[in-house]
């Protein structure tokens, strides 16, 4: 005997637009599959071709991650007339992992001083030779980096170290240590960033960062999120 399956995605029409109720007991992948089926299946496609519509999504008690949100928005992007207006969980923020917060600090890190930071760090000031900046996240320096910078010290290999004047004595990302060439050209002191590629630290111009980390490109993100 066939079991009566409660739909994991329930759609209701209101005068303000469409309400999507997602079942919060089933795995999110099942919910997404059902959503894909309902939105993209050939049989139903004619239903969706209509005027622009505002969509509200109720996630129930479930919270989702940023990548799950991206997957969800990707499915909706196939229907150009549906605009996600709101995403909601009951009584809690819908995102499990709120975007990483960056802290802003000012001051010079002088020889013998160590600035330790949890998370991403924006330092408005210089790091002098013999000074050290260590962070578990990214390090951005609006000033001159002349000392040591250690990013991703907890094991994050995806972080970068960037500085307006890039003249470090040593760079460390996660557990990889590198030192710049002994001879610097004047032109190499400008704004640069360092990242890990093939278990080595590479240094590149700021304008190349969007190719290396396309997921951080603002155009890419605004395209996905409509």
Binding site residues, other proteins, CB under 8 A: 108, 110-113, 126, 128-131, 144, 146
Q: Is the CB of 51 or the CB of 112 nearer to other proteins?
A: 112
**176-178/170-173 β-pairing:** antiparallel
Compare residues 131 and 168 and give the one whose CB is closer to other proteins: 131
Distance CA 78, CA 38 (A): 12
Name the β-bridge partners of 116. 134
Q: How far is the CA of 98 from the CAs of 115, 134, 151, 214, 218, in angstroms?
A: 25, 23, 21, 20, 18
The smaller minimum CB distance to other proteins, of residues 131 and 137, is found at: 131
Task: Give dist(CA 32, CA 27) in Å, integer.
Answer: 9
In whole angstroms, how close is the CB of 182 to other proteins at the nearest point? 14
Smallest separation (angstroms) from other proteins to the CB of 126 = 6
Closest distance of CB 107 from other proteins, Å: 9
The nearer residue to other proteins, 66 or 110, going by C-beta atoms, is 110
Distance CA 181, CA 168 (A): 10
The Cα–Cα gap between 57 and 34 comes to 14
Q: How far is the CB of 149 from other proteins (least distance, A)?
A: 17
């Amino acid at each position: 005997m066939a079991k009566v399956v409660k739909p994991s995605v329930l759609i209701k029409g209101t005068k303000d637009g469409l309400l999507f109720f997602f079942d919060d007991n089933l795995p999110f992948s099942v919910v997404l599959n059902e959503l894909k089926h309902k939105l993209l299946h050939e049989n139903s496609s004619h239903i969706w071709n209509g005027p622009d519509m505002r969509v509200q999504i109720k996630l129930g008690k479930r919270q989702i991650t940023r990548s799950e949100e991206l997957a969800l928005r990707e499915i909706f992007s196939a229907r150009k007339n549906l605009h996600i207006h709101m995403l909601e969980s009951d009584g809690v923020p819908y995102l499990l992992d709120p975007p990483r917060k960056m802290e802003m600090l000012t001051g010079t890190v002088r020889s013998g001083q160590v600035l330790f930071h949890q998370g991403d760090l924006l330092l408005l000031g210089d790091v002098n030779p013999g000074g050290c900046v260590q962070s578990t996240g990214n390090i951005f320096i609006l000033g001159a980096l002349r000392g040591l910078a250690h990013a991703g010290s907890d094991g994050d290999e995806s972080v970068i170290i960037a500085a307006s004047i890039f003249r470090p004595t040593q760079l460390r990302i996660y557990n990889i240590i590198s030192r710049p060439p002994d001879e610097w050209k004047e032109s190499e002191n400008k704004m640069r960033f360092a990242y890990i590629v093939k278990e080595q630290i590479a240094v590149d111009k700021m304008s190349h960062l969007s190719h290396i980390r396309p997921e951080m490109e603002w155009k890419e993100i605004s395209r996905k999120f409509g």
